[in-house]
Amino acid sequence: MHATMEHMTIWGLISDASLLVKAVMVTLLLASLLSWYLIIQRGSALRRLERQMNAFVQRFRTAPDVQALYREAQQAGEGGIAPIFIAGVQEFQHLHNHDPAVLEGVERALQVAISEQEVELEKGLQFLATVGSVSPYIGLFGTVWGIMNSFLGLSQVQQATLSTVAPGIAEALIATAIGLFAAIPAVIAYNRFAARSQTLLTRYYAFGNELQVRLHRTLRGTPINLAAAA
Position 108 pLDDT exceeds 80: yes
166 inside domain: no
Question: Is 48 inside a domain boundary?
Answer: yes
Residue 99 CA: distances (Å) to CA of 46, 103, 125, 213: 37, 9, 40, 18
- Give the pLDDT band (50/70/90) at residue 170: confident
- Residue 221 φ/ψ, nearest 5 degrees: -115, -140
The pLDDT of residue 1 = 43
86 compared with 14, residue with greater pLDDT: 86
Residue 153 maps to a domain: no
Burial 112-132 (b: 16+ CB within 10 A, else e): ebbeebeeebeebbebbbebb
Asked, for residue 211, whether it belongs to a domain, the answer is: yes
Q: What percent of the chain has pLDDT over 90?
A: 33
Q: Report which of 201, 195, 34 is spatially closest to residue 120, judged by C-alpha positions.
A: 201
Is residue 160 included in any domain, yes or no? no
Range of the domain at 53: 18-132+175-229
User: How deeply is 146 buried, as exposed, middle or buried, from its count of CB atoms within 10 A (0-12, 13-18, 19+)?
Assistant: buried
**Quick check: 34 pLDDT over 70?**
yes
Whether the per-residue pLDDT at 8 is higher than 60: the answer is no
CA–CA separation, 133 and 156 (whole Å):
37
Q: What residue type is assigned to position 221 of the chain?
A: G
Structure confidence at residue 159 (pLDDT): 64
Q: Print the SS3 string covering 177-216.
A: HHHHHHHHHHHHHHHHHHHHHHHHHHHHHHHHHHHHHHHH
pLDDT of residue 143: 84
The pLDDT value recorded for residue 145 is 82
| 3-class secondary-structure state, position 99 | coil
Q: Is the pTM of this model over 0.95?
A: no
Which has more confidence, 48 or 166? Answer: 48
Mean pLDDT of the chain: 81
What is the domain count for the chain? 1
Residue bearing the bigger pLDDT, 18 or 121: 121
Average of pLDDT values for 65-73? Answer: 83
Q: Is residue 142 part of a domain?
A: no
Q: At residue 227, does pLDDT exceed 50?
A: no
Say which residue, 137 or 76, is predicted with more confidence. 137
Q: Does residue 122 form part of some domain?
A: yes
Q: What percent of the chain has pLDDT over 70?
A: 79
Position 73 in a domain: yes
Point out the least confidently predicted range of 72-76, 104-108, 226-230: 226-230
**Mean pLDDT calculated for residue range 199-225:** 80
